[in-house]
Chain A
């Protein structure tokens, strides 16, 4: 890519810009550093004499503690399963709905679109009891579905909103050409539209991922031991009367670092697909 033409900034101005960028970067990196060091300390260091420094004794045992008593491995696995399936469902459902909402011809589609946008505004905690009742009637409490279904529903509105941006930009000529070639609606959708939606996948996935990766209340209430997710695991490490912070720190690291690593490896791809999908938002 040729460097875009631009005026030369004065060196002083450039330095100020880098200082600003640098400071903000430090503010964002500090938690990662803090979390890592804190996961290797004992209670006395965390609560007292060594808040931000490197640990005096590197307590790797905190990690085995977190994995063993905290079952972090299991919780991590659960979180991954739930996130992946939720993302898949949101992607498919949102693309299908968007297809009908942006390309097909029917009277109520504006109304329907507004109806889905309502979903952006609903506070997730308002629906705990109704969803609990529904899930238990369906015999789905304490299964992966107990979290996947509500998470998918709550991410759907955003999925449709993002997909609409992308799909609205695809020229309708594509569909017509495919139609003339003898494709049916499903053919057009799966063979023409879906492959072109790749950039939307990253944006929707990240949004959905954040929703299910962080959520605490539903995960706690709808699921039992076998299907609990990471945030629940972290909260559970704090008992009613008793707390050991080192292993909690280790659990925090275990809950965070895999995502960060994944992001470090794929950040370029993710950013690129964000860029591809911008403006249309």
Chain B
């Protein structure tokens, strides 16, 4: 058995298909980005080697304002960890306890936004936010809160929040289903035993259920954070980074550098930094959760 499982050629055969695909499509571009980030290059003309100048410009230039984009992405990450995931967890706990009517129905409904294409979700929310006829402003006016009606995606003060809501909303169902599944697989005896000991429902959730689904929460957190750092599609459809960069995130900035402003070197610099940041946060979260798992 050990011999069978240590055979190098078999191991290679098993790992090779995934490995080749991975290297060709994912790893090679990382190196390419790292390399191009050292050049002043428009993507097709002459390359000029400029060392780390792109990195310096990225962090210091006002007209690029990378820190703003990065800050927005970090804010989104914070929102998804501290708002989106708790909502998911709350819903999952409410449904996962079992015995409520329509449990499966709710579960199915909550998953619907996940299944709708991002392009579609984007169009939908553009309509909801439409300053004149959008459902949101129409509703606010109808209940007499005229003052609260705003140009949601056009006002720098509200655009970022308005763009975040659909992003957070869309994936609540996904995280919820993961967590619900975890809660369902907590053996009912544990719950019963705690109840017999006089624990209230909240306490059962707090001390039995949540610790047991910690691995799932960890995965969800990694998703939420790296997903936020990489977020692109909805922002692209909703605001494309505007108004005046108020909703710019690193990915939209990267695309505009690569393909609108013809600054391929600078775009590669952003790509490279983004990969680094995502990897760093994934490790960090993994580390943070590892510590606590021992206790649980």
Contacts and interface: CB of A to CB of B under 8 A. Distances in A.
A/B contact in complex, CB under 8 angstroms: yes
Contact of A260 (B99, B115, B124): B115
Contacts of B117: 213-214, 230-231, 234, 252, 255-256
A70 B116 CA distance: 19
User: Which range holds the interface residue count of chain A?
Assistant: 35 or more
B104 A126 contact: no
A121 B181 contact: no
B120 A255 contact: yes
B296 interface: no
Interface in A48-73: 48-49, 51-52
Contacts of A224: none
A31 B10 contact: no
Contact of B29 (A112, A118, A127): A127
Contacts of A267: 104, 107-108, 111
A184 B14 CA distance: 13
B50 interface: no
Contact of A6 (B97, B268, B274): B97
Contact of A121 (B212, B268, B282): B282
Contacts of B169: 27
A21 B138 CA distance: 25
A235 B113 CA distance: 19
Interface stretch (B64-72, B78-86, B183-191): B183-191
Contacts of B102: 21
Contacts of B236: 216
A3 interface: yes
Interface in A131-170: 131, 134, 149-150, 152-154, 156-157, 160-161, 165
B51 interface: no
A259 B115 contact: yes
Interface stretch (B52-60, B154-162, B225-233, B239-247): B225-233
A5 B192 contact: yes
Given A29-B112, A214-B117, A96 B181 contact: no
Contact of B43 (A47, A129, A165, A252): A129
A105 B2 contact: yes
Say what secondary structure dominates the interface of chain B.
helix
Interface in A26-54: 27-29, 31-32, 34-35, 38, 46-49, 51-52
A192 interface: no
A24 B5 contact: no
Nearest to B116: A256
A186 to B, nearest CB: 8
B25 A123 contact: no
B100 A17 contact: yes
B30 interface: yes
A163 to B, nearest CB: 11
For B18, B107, B133, B222, which residue has the most chain A Cβ atoms within 10 angstroms?
B18
Contact of B271 (A32, A48, A126, A275): A126
A17 B94 contact: yes
Given A256-B115, A278-B183, 8 more contacts: A121-B226, A123-B254, A156-B18, A160-B18, A214-B118, A267-B108, A279-B212, A279-B216
Interface of B: 1-2, 4-8, 10-11, 14-15, 17-19, 21-22, 24-30, 32-33, 43, 91, 94-95, 97-100, 102, 104, 106-121, 123-124, 127, 130, 133-135, 138, 169, 173, 177-178, 180-186, 188, 191-192, 195-196, 200-201, 212-213, 215-216, 219, 222, 226, 229-230, 232-233, 236, 250-251, 254-255, 258, 264, 268, 271-272, 274-275, 278-279, 281-282
23 contacts: A6-B98, A9-B201, A28-B113, A51-B135, A96-B15, A103-B5, A104-B5, A112-B19, A120-B222, A120-B226, A121-B275, A124-B230, A126-B33, A152-B21, A165-B215, A175-B1, A176-B1, A234-B117, A259-B116, A271-B180, A274-B177, A275-B181, A276-B181
